[in-house]
Amino acid sequence: DAGMHLKIQSLPILDNLATQLIHTISKASYPQIQDMMRTDGSEDGQAYRTLKNLFDQTRKVYSRETPFIDAIAIQMFQPAQQEIIRKANIATFISSILGAHDVSFFHLNEFFMETFVPLGHRLLKWQGAIYLELKTQTYISALMNSDGNPEEMLEELFPPDLDAQILTRHPDAPSLSPSEQDFIDRSRARKSYLLAEPRTEENMRELPKKYQWSDFVREFASCIAKNVDGIMNVPARSQATSNSKGVNAIADINGQSGNAGHAALSAVPNLGVNGKSGDGSAGKKPPAAVSTVRQPWTKPEEDALLSGLERVNGPHWSQILALYGRGGSVSEVLKDRNQVQLKDKARNLKLWYLKTGKEVPPALRGVTGELRK
């Protein structure tokens, strides 16, 4: 199948462009984002539009009818493939909210959970806050631009089984987390408030002022910037494989070689704002030291551990798990790890730097572990 062959060969390119797009936006301040989205001839704006156009053209290989790609519908069943598709959908979502406006509110609301909360994971606090405000903005837009029944609109946006919909994202954990329950409670309160609003012309004018679109966009941009690591590094539910194995798994479906995909990928420009790299990489990470735990550490887990050490200013393992463990406020990358495992892994990483004579990163300097003399 020529169409399937093209999709498989284009996956590395889609992955690269989506990653650049997400990191370009997440690293920019809100004023910089506004400048990028303008249609003037600024250098940053031109670079961003070039990147966005390349991404849009590549995305159309997978979906021309809808803005979001359905991995199952196009027969992308492997975890590595589905993760790339999810990343592409995140890039579409973020770029649309922050300036492109090429996706309807209906689609943004419909695909929010599937895009930001992969199967097996929970709705985090910041995601719930954004999701609630997105639903509110969707309601206001529908109210202002259609003659539909407000009660029916609210019933569709805030259905009675909203809690059940959230539970379908993690069937192995059949109860709501505190952050998910908070979202449900706030959603019910918001629905009741909007339902009780009088349908007068004055109230219709005041509602967009109370829930301003500009405030939502600014908060959305802030959340993406703060949580980009958790957004990009979602651990697979199955046993993780190395990056090289993941690429080979994508390329070798139906016996097809990945050489063409890699050749095309090398030709993709690495576009960023103000000359910064758009792929978010800051040099290769050192190979992980041999772990004493049975489950090998993945790169997203290592990155979360180092990020956590920086955020909490030292080896405060319970605080790191509060950020990245089960029900964490940033992500759940470390949900399968405990404090002892964090301590052992951090120590091994520090020893690796000491043994190789490399400078120990600031995040690891407070960790116990010294070379024996």
Per-residue model confidence as pLDDT tens digits over 194-214 = 999 888 888 888 999 999 999
Ordered alpha helix ranges (H), the chain? 2-26, 30-37, 43-59, 79-95, 105-116, 125-145, 150-157, 162-167, 178-196, 201-210, 213-232, 243-251, 259-266, 299-311, 317-324, 339-356
Looking at the fold, whether 114 and 95 belong to one and the same domain comes out as: no
Q: Is the pLDDT of residue 168 over 70?
A: yes
Of the pLDDT bands very low, low, confident and very high (cuts 50, 70, 90), residue 372 is low
Q: Tell whether 344 is covered by a domain.
A: yes
- 185 vs 370, higher pLDDT: 185
Cβ atoms of 115 and 97 closer than 8 Å: no
Looking at the fold, whether 98 and 110 belong to one and the same domain comes out as: no
Residue-averaged pLDDT of the chain: 83
Please give the share of the chain, as a percent, with pLDDT higher than 70.
83
Looking at the fold, whether 119 and 97 belong to one and the same domain comes out as: no
| Domain-ending residue, one of 234, 254, 273 | 234
Looking at the fold, whether 116 and 95 belong to one and the same domain comes out as: no
pLDDT at 256: 41
Q: Which residue has the tokens 């600024």?
A: 42
Looking at the fold, whether 121 and 174 belong to one and the same domain comes out as: yes
pLDDT at 247: 38
Q: Is the pLDDT of residue 78 over 50?
A: yes
Mean pLDDT, range 346-350, rounded to an integer: 88
Looking at the fold, whether 93 and 108 belong to one and the same domain comes out as: no
Pick from 79-83, 122-126, 269-273, 308-312: least confident: 269-273
DSSP 8-state assignment for residue 15 = H
Side chain identity, residue 111 = F
Those residues with Cβ within 8 angstroms of residue 311's Cβ, 6 or more apart along the chain or in another chain? 320, 323
Structure-token pair, residue 33 = 């984002």
| Domain-ending residue, one of 234, 254, 280 | 234
pLDDT at 42: 80
Integer-rounded Cα Rg, in Å, for the chain is 22
Q: What is the DSSP string of 292-321?
A: SSSSPPPHHHHHHHHHHHHHTTS--HHHHH
Q: Tell whether 244 is covered by a domain.
A: no
CA 148, CA 218: separation in Å to the nearest integer? Answer: 29
Looking at the fold, whether 31 and 8 belong to one and the same domain comes out as: yes
| Domain-ending residue, one of 102, 123, 152 | 102
Range of the domain at 2: 1-102
Q: Which residue has the tokens 């598709």?
A: 85
- 105 vs 271, higher pLDDT: 105
Q: Tell whether 370 is covered by a domain.
A: no
CA 348, CA 368: separation in Å to the nearest integer? Answer: 10
**Packed helices 30-37 and 2-26: angle between N→C axes, nearest 10 degrees:** 130
Structural domains counted in the chain: 3
Of the pLDDT bands very low, low, confident and very high (cuts 50, 70, 90), residue 123 is very high
Looking at the fold, whether 25 and 110 belong to one and the same domain comes out as: no
Can you list the pairs that 42-49 forms with residues at least 24 positions away whose Cβ atoms lie under 8 Å? 44/273, 44/274, 47/271, 47/272, 47/273, 48/24, 48/271, 48/273
Pick from 185-199, 220-234, 291-305: least confident: 291-305
Specify the pTM.
0.68
Of the pLDDT bands very low, low, confident and very high (cuts 50, 70, 90), residue 33 is very high
Looking at the fold, whether 95 and 139 belong to one and the same domain comes out as: no
Please give the share of the chain, as a percent, with pLDDT higher than 90.
50
Mean pLDDT, range 175-191, rounded to an integer: 95
Per-residue model confidence as pLDDT tens digits over 247-296 = 344 334 333 434 444 444 444 444 444 444 444 444 444 444 333 335 78
Q: Tell whether 98 is covered by a domain.
A: yes
Structure-token pair, residue 45 = 């704006």
Q: Tell whether 307 is covered by a domain.
A: yes
Looking at the fold, whether 121 and 98 belong to one and the same domain comes out as: no
Q: Tell whether 280 is covered by a domain.
A: no
Q: Tell whether 70 is covered by a domain.
A: yes
Report for 88-92, 275-279, 301-305, 316-320: range of highest mean pLDDT: 88-92
Q: Tell whether 313 is covered by a domain.
A: yes
Pick from 2-16, 34-48, 220-234: least confident: 34-48
Q: Element (H or E) spanning 333, and its range?
A: none
Looking at the fold, whether 82 and 143 belong to one and the same domain comes out as: no
Looking at the fold, whether 46 and 58 belong to one and the same domain comes out as: yes
